[in-house]
Chain A
Amino acid sequence: MSDAHAQIDNEVKSNDVVLFMKGTPQFPMCGFSGQVVQILNYVGVPYKGVNVLDDEGIRNGIKEYSNWPTIPQLYVKGEFVGGCDITREMFQSGELQQLLAEKGLPVTKPAA
């Protein structure tokens, strides 16, 4: 296991909700990452943002980690949820809020 892979694995397994993104939750550097940040902020679940632009190893490694070629990537309780499109569709249908609730994670805005 490479260093980057081990680092990614550790982030995924030690954070309930982690978003691999470009930029930070405060300053997203990409529109797709920014959309996921807005959704997570809206539902009010605590999460960690990992800025892939800070580390080339993580930036490339995350694409291999889940065999997913694009960023952002959202993980909940160690499981890959999806990228921007999937997160947005799940948010709009209420499935994201349901998933978080099922995993016992606090949300301030549950699905209607």
Chain B
Amino acid sequence: MALRDWIDEALRREFSTETVSVLDESHLHAGHAGWREGGETHFRVDVVSPAFAGKSRVERHRLVNQALAPAFARGLHALAIKARAPGE
């Protein structure tokens, strides 16, 4: 499974939400540190879930990073995160 799809599924599952967007921005970093042929190294995710309500920015990012720990192990290098509770 492509890493992009794995990330998308993991976020939907872990945060019980359908409001997930996953962008592979690896091409924007071509030639930079962490980049590799074939992409799938630099991602931008946007997740809206009640799981983030009442949580600080650092707590939200930690939850996303934890959910995607296996992706970091698979070569994910950079992750831009937007994590919002519904209504934000």
A residues with a Cβ closer than 8 A to B are 22, 29-32, 53, 67-70, 80-86, 89-90
A71 (CB) vs chain B CBs: closest residue: B78
Known: A69-B72, A70-B78, A70-B79. A85 touches B32 (CB 8 A): no
| B61 A85 Cβ-Cβ under 8 A | yes
Which chain B positions have C-beta within 8 A of A22?
A: 33
22 of the cross-chain contacts (CB-CB < 8 Å) are: A22-B33, A30-B32, A30-B33, A31-B32, A32-B78, A53-B33, A68-B61, A68-B62, A69-B69, A69-B79, A70-B65, A80-B58, A81-B58, A82-B57, A82-B58, A84-B80, A85-B61, A85-B81, A85-B82, A86-B57, A86-B58, A90-B57
Q: How far is the CA of A57 from the CA of B5 in the complex (A)?
A: 32
Interface: B55 (CB within 8 A): no
A22 (CB) vs chain B CBs: closest residue: B33
> What number of A-B contacts does a CB cutoff of 8 Å give?
37
Which chain B residues (36-85) contact chain A, with CB distance < 8 Å?
A: 57-58, 61-62, 65, 69, 72, 78-82
Which chain B positions have C-beta within 8 A of A32?
A: 78, 80
A68 (CB) vs chain B CBs: closest residue: B65
Interface: B13 (CB within 8 A): no
- Given contacts A29-B33, A85-B61, 15 further A-B pairs with CB under 8 A are A30-B33, A31-B29, A31-B32, A53-B33, A67-B62, A68-B61, A69-B65, A70-B65, A70-B78, A70-B79, A84-B80, A85-B81, A85-B82, A86-B57, A90-B57
